[in-house]
Chain A
Amino acid sequence: MKEPKDGYKEAKRKVLAALAKGSYLHEARNQVDVKNKLATGEVSAQEVADLIKKSTGKDHSKSSHHADRSITIHVIARQGWYIKFYFVDPDTWFISVHR
């Protein structure tokens, strides 16, 4: 069966490509969210990519963005880390990267 476009494998491929290329942004709401440790520089893009590479479909869940229900939010929970992101082409957007 073909995986849906917003499935885990496609999300993993796109987020890893974005981290490698640096084509990502962090979502903000008038503040620097300290739960986004990639934005604060407490973890590097490489470290986040390494965690995502180790993840499997079992570590993945999804929901809808509260401000636009058509946008799928992906959550990868691996080794105590939560990585929350979505795509607004051509960019990947991180909401939070925290333990």
Chain B
Amino acid sequence: MKLYVEGEKGRAVCGRDGLSSMTFSRRDVPFSDGGGQARDILVGVCDKCGEVIAIPPQSTPAIRAAREKAVLPIEANLPAVYLDALDLACYRIDPNASQDFRKRLLLYYVVSTSKNKALAKKVGANLMKLDSVFQAGEKSKTRRRLSMKVTSTLLNRVDDVMAMTNLNRTDLFKSLVVQIDKDISKPAKPANLAKLQTLAAIAVG
């Protein structure tokens, strides 16, 4: 593989100047989705306009590391019953669970659903047949905000599950809470309780 070094020259197509000469140099380069930046990576800079026009493969590990660290906000304003149901499930799993565990539980369901088409089908249909408690909650005007910060990789998973279930983000979170309620709060003996208790123990620690 070719290793580029600072000061090396090359040819590239600059979006502004067309076919141009470039010089490799170190720069901080932001991500196009606004989720942070890769710092001090080797890039090709247009000799005419000074813009970053090339990224060599050797900068990919640093970009990947920066991308993993970058956190993006997810916010949803849900009828209060959904946050209450999520808190109840957390309480069932571990009465000492921190409030942070609520986010981890929800994201655990995002990741599980992204890997399981049958579960995605169930999650996609949950809001069409809400039980009386959630129906009453939908009519209430009280809403609570769910706010968390996730890595871009996790945000991509959320987008994947939205596509798999044909739900927008708010409806996806509502539907995942309904699934959590069905799996954890409703049954006398929840199936995955031991696994989720381990997850809670890590979240508390």
Contact = CB atoms under 8 A, between A and B. Distances in A.
B123 interface: no
Interface in B1-54: 1-2, 10-19, 29-33, 35, 37-38, 43-44, 51-54
Interface residues of B, number: 36
B67 interface: yes
A68 interface: yes
B1 A21 contact: yes
A67 B17 contact: yes
Contacts of B99: none
A30 B11 contact: no
Contacts of B2: 21-23
A66 to B, nearest CB: 8
Contact of A88 (B11, B30, B152): B11
A41 B64 contact: yes
B13 A26 contact: no
Interface stretch (B55-63, B80-88, B137-145, B166-174): B55-63
Interface stretch (A6-14, A31-39, A54-62): A31-39
Interface of A: 21-35, 38-42, 45, 65-68, 71, 86, 88, 91, 93
